[in-house]
Structure 1
Amino acid sequence: MDYRPLGRTGIRVSPLCLGAMMFGGKTSPADSAAIIDRALDAGINFIDTANVYNQGRSEEAVGEALQRNGRRSQVILATKVHGRMGEDPNAMGNTRRHIIEQCEASLRRLKTDWIDLYQVHRPQPDVPIDETLRALDDLVRSGKVRYIGSSTFAAWQLVESLWVAKEYRLERFVCEQPPYNLLDRRIERELLPMAQAYGFGIIPWSPLAGGLLTGKYRRDAPPPEDSRYANLDANPLYRRRMNDAVWDVIEPLETLAREKGTTLSRLALAWCMHQPGVTSPIIGPRTMEQLEDNLGALEVTITDEDRKAIDRIIPPGTHVAPYYEADWRAGAFRW
C-alpha cells in the first residue's frame, strides 16, 4: 500500500479513504463492521464519517466496529461537524457552542478518546472564522482532536483561514475535502494549485460522481429502482447532474476502461487517486461487492497516454455535471 502524508502533517494515510455515509442507514451495523474489517485487512487505514450521517448512526456503527475488532489505534479516524443535529436553532453551524457540543457527542458515538481529524463540513460566512478556529484549537489543546480540516470550502476561504490562524496563533486546517471526479474537474482551476502551494491535503468526496461513474447507468435506460437517481423529479440537483452531456463523457470513458481491462469505476477512482495534489479519494461502499470493486482501483495504472485521452474526453478544469457548486450568499455549498 502506497501510504501518503496527510498535508503538512507527519501522519500517513492510505490512497483510498473509507467513507461511512451509508453505515447505520442503508448499510446495517453488521454489514458496516464487515466492510470496515475487509478494508482494514486490505491496508486502508483512513475512515471518514460525519455526525449528520444518518443522524449519528454512522458514527455509532464505526465506533462499535472498531471497538469490537480492537483496531482503533491502527486507524486515522475522521469525522465532521456543521449540519443540523436537533430542532434547536443553535444545533447546527460553525459556532463555538455547536462545535464543542458536537465533538463531545461524536466522541461518545465513536467510542474513542480522540478524533484524529475533525473537519468543518461546510463554510458559514456569517460565523467569523476566528470563532470556528478558536473552538477547534481548544479541542486540539485538550487532546480530544489531533488535526483539523475543512470540507467544500473555496480556495479564498482556506487562504483566509490560514491568515487568521497565523494572526491569532491558532491551529490551521491541514486538509480540505472537496467534490472531485471525471464529471466535474473545476477544483483544478484554483483549489488544487492553492492546496499544493500551502500544503493542504486533498481528500475528494464523490470520486465516482454519486454512482454515475460506476457503469450502472445508461443513456437510454431508466435508472435502477434502488439508486439515488431513481426519482429525478424529487431532487432537482440530481436532475441537473444526470443530463445529456454526461453520457458524452461516460461512454468514451467506458471504452477506455474496457481497453485497459478494467471497469469504469476503477478507472475513475484510479484517475482521481493519481491526480497531482490528491491525497486520498473517499469511497462510499454500500455493500461488500462495491468495496471489492473499489479496492480493485489500487491495481489500475494510469499512464501519461491515459491522462491525455481522458483530458480529450473531459478537459482539465471543466465540468458537465455540477458537484463543486456554491451559493456564497447562503454561505454553503449545495449537495
Structure 2
Amino acid sequence: MEYVSLGSTGTKVSPLCFGTWRFGHESDGTLETDRDTAHELLDAFAERGGNFIDTANGYGGGLSEEWIGDWLAERDREDFVIASKVYWTMESPVSENLSRKTIRAEIEGTLDRLGTDYLDVYYIHRWDDETPIEETLSTLNGLVEEGRVNYLGASSMAAWKLTKALWRSDVHDWERFEVTQPKFNAAHRDEVAEYLEVCADQDLAVCPWSPLEEGFLTGKYERDGESPAGSRGDRYSWTDRFDDRQWRTLDAVRAVAEEEGATPAQVALRWLMDRTAFTCVPIVGARSVEQLDENVDAVDVSLSDDQRDRITAAYDEHDR
C-alpha cells in the first residue's frame, strides 16, 4: 500500500482511513461493534498496511477511544496516525461547545482513553457559534505548541466559516486547519462544493465521511426495492430518499465496476482517491473483516479518465 501526503503536511498516511464510529455504539439496543471485533478489525487494517485511524471523544460514549488505546498499547504508537475530535463533551458537565475550558478538559480525556501523549490530528467536530473563534483557535494552537497535537482539522461546516477560521489563524500566526472532514462522495457533491473549493485553494487534505453515501454506493439497493435488513437505510424510504442524479451516479458506478471486475464500493472509493484538486483520503467503516477487505482492495483498482468522467457526469447531468 503506497502512502500519500496528508495535504500540505509532511505526514504520510494510507490512502484510506479507518473510521471507528461503530465501536461501542448501540443502535436500537444492539451493539454495532464489540471490543473483540473492534480489535480484529484494527488488526486486519494494520496487516493490510493501513496506518490512519479516525475516532472521536463521543464515539461509543468514549469506548471507541478506549478500545483503540487498548489495541495501541501492544504496538508501536509511532506506526500510526491517530485522529480524534472535540465538540460534544465527555469530561465537562456543559453539553457541547469549543470553549477553552471544554477543549482543555476533553483533550485530557481523549489522550487518557487512547493511552497516548499526543494526537496526530485533532478535529473540531462542529462549528461553535457561541464561542468566539479566536478563543477556540488560540486554545487549539496552544495544544500544538505543547506537543499534544500535531495538526488541526475541521469537520462539517459552511465554506465561509472554514475560510474565516483560516484567515483568523493567518492573522494571528496560529496553527491553521490542515485536514478537513466533510460528507463527500460521488453521489453527494453540491452541498459541499464551495467547501471543497476552499480546501483545493488552501491545499487542505480532505478525509470524507460517508464515502459510500451510507451504503447507497455499494450497489446493494434498487430504485424499487427495499433496503436490506440491518442496513442504515431501514429507517428511510429508499426510493424517496435519493434523487434521479444519484441513481444515475450509482448506475455509472455499477457499469464501471463491471468493466473492471471490481465492486461498486471499490469504484466509488477509487473515484474519491483519484481527486486531483486536493489529497482525498476516504474514511471507511466496516462491520466485518470481509467488508474491510473489500474496501481496502479499492487501492488496487485503476480507473481511466473516461471512467472517472462518466461517474462525474452522471451526477452533473441535469434532470430530464
Aligned to 2:130: 126
Please report how far the alpha carbon of residue 193 of structure 1 lies from its aligned counterpart in structure 2 after TM superposition.
2.8
**1:1-335 matched pairs, under 5 angstroms:** 1-25=1-25, 26-68=32-74, 70-85=75-90, 88=93, 90-186=94-190, 189-232=193-236, 241-242=241-242, 246-276=246-276, 277-315=278-316
SS in 2 for 1:229: helix
Label 1:188 to 1:66 Cα distance change in 2 as closer, same or farther (>3 A).
same
Label 1:147 to 1:198 Cα distance change in 2 as closer, same or farther (>3 A).
same
**Unaligned ranges ≥5, structure 1:** 320-335
Contact 2:153–2:178 (8 Å) recurs in 1:
yes
Task: Note the aligned Cα RMSD (angstroms).
Answer: 2.2
How many residues in Structure 1 have an aligned counterpart in Structure 2? 312
Please report how far the alpha carbon of residue 213 of structure 1 lies from its aligned counterpart in structure 2 after TM superposition.
0.9
Please report how far the alpha carbon of residue 242 of structure 1 lies from its aligned counterpart in structure 2 after TM superposition.
4.0
Aligned to 1:326: none
Of 241-250 and 121-130, deviating more is 241-250
Distance 1:283 1:91 in 2: 28
Please report how far the alpha carbon of residue 215 of structure 1 lies from its aligned counterpart in structure 2 after TM superposition.
2.0
Contact 2:120–2:149 (8 Å) recurs in 1:
yes
Label 1:87 to 1:158 Cα distance change in 2 as closer, same or farther (>3 A).
closer
Please report how far the alpha carbon of residue 137 of structure 1 lies from its aligned counterpart in structure 2 after TM superposition.
1.2
Please report how far the alpha carbon of residue 54 of structure 1 lies from its aligned counterpart in structure 2 after TM superposition.
1.2
Length-normalised TM-score, structure 1: 0.87
Please report how far the alpha carbon of residue 99 of structure 1 lies from its aligned counterpart in structure 2 after TM superposition.
1.0
Please report how far the alpha carbon of residue 200 of structure 1 lies from its aligned counterpart in structure 2 after TM superposition.
1.0
Distance 2:82 2:63 in 1: 16
SS in 2 for 1:147: strand
Please report how far the alpha carbon of residue 196 of structure 1 lies from its aligned counterpart in structure 2 after TM superposition.
2.2
CA shift digits 1:244-285 (9 cap, x unpaired):
653333234212211221110000000011112133111011
Please report how far the alpha carbon of residue 122 of structure 1 lies from its aligned counterpart in structure 2 after TM superposition.
0.9
Label 1:139 to 1:39 Cα distance change in 2 as closer, same or farther (>3 A).
same
Distance 2:9 2:250 in 1: 36
CA shift digits 1:204-239 (9 cap, x unpaired):
111111111112222222212211111227xxxx89
Contact 2:272–2:280 (8 Å) recurs in 1:
no
Contact 2:89–2:106 (8 Å) recurs in 1:
no
Distance 2:83 2:210 in 1: 16
SS in 1 for 2:127: coil
The residue type paired with residue 57 of structure 1 is L
Please report how far the alpha carbon of residue 147 of structure 1 lies from its aligned counterpart in structure 2 after TM superposition.
1.2
Distance 2:10 2:235 in 1: 45
Contact 2:92–2:106 (8 Å) recurs in 1:
no
Distance 1:266 1:210 in 2: 14
Identity of aligned pairs, percent?
Answer: 37
CA shift digits 1:299-319 (9 cap, x unpaired):
111211102211231128x99
Please report how far the alpha carbon of residue 128 of structure 1 lies from its aligned counterpart in structure 2 after TM superposition.
1.3
